[in-house]
Amino acid sequence: MPWLTDVTNNDAVLLICDRVWMAVVQRSLRPGARLKEEDLAEVFGVSRARVRQALALLEKDGLVSLVPNRGACIAEPGVSEARDAFYTRGFIEKRLVERLCESATDADIAALRDHIAKERAAHAGQDSEAIIRLSGEFHLLIARLTDARFLGEILRTLTTRTSLITAMYQSETTQTCGPDEHEAIVNAIEARDTARAADLMEHHLHHLESALQLNDAKSPAADLRAALGVRGAAAQ
């Protein structure tokens, strides 16, 4: 998850962020769903101060909106924002793969192939949480390997936002981006085929965007505890 490098030695805060994130991408928490501090504190067995820390991190990454006199809710990106986010992400990620084609070492390629192997294992085991997590992390891994800190920070925000957009607008049958398209991109990077790598990344992102139903609007989950998949106090 994108916030994992922002907090150290605070498992409770990370757990809250992780559970809210997964609830959104698994469609059990819909955009607009309210996140009451007292409810989250009870669900996770933590103080409201810990909850506020988690909500601040989630707001920073664009997943949560904090509204004065109303509290926190899952953000609600509109159709225009959805299109803009994918459009911008296309430019960023094409530039990143172009740079990686020029700079990739054997160790970089090995890291990418190891990641794809983990993706395939998650698909084989039908581990939905790992599939979702690894799918997004592939794109952030490319940014890290290029050592492009500025572009990486922009991509981190865009990846969070487009994950929320996908959760909001995808059809029930939409599949997360899989390892086959990722592997084709890695093959092009390893071959130093800059044009092909950029084209494959553009096609990949277009594939994700084209699967969205931009007129879909569903009600948020009513039961916060059930949506987060937490049955009792999980952290202190």
Task: Kindly report, residue by residue over 14-31, the tens digit of the pLDDT.
Answer: 889 888 888 887 777 888
Question: What CATH number is given for 79-210 in this structure?
Answer: 1.20.120.530
Q: Which of 82, 123, 73, 4 is nearest to 227 (CA)?
A: 73
Q: Which two tokens stand for residue 69?
A: 């006199």
pLDDT class for 133, splitting at 50, 70, 90? confident
We find that the CATH architecture of domain 2-76 is: Orthogonal Bundle (1.10)
Q: Taking the complete model, does pTM exceed 0.85, yes or no?
A: no
**Phi and psi (nearest 5°) for 32?**
95, -15
pLDDT class for 204, splitting at 50, 70, 90? very high
pLDDT class for 236, splitting at 50, 70, 90? very low
Tell me the domain boundaries of the chain: 2-76, 79-210
Q: Strands, DSSP E only, in the chain?
A: 34-35, 64-67, 71-74
Q: First-to-last CA distance in the chain? A: 21
Share of the chain above pLDDT 90, in %: 47
pLDDT class for 141, splitting at 50, 70, 90? very high
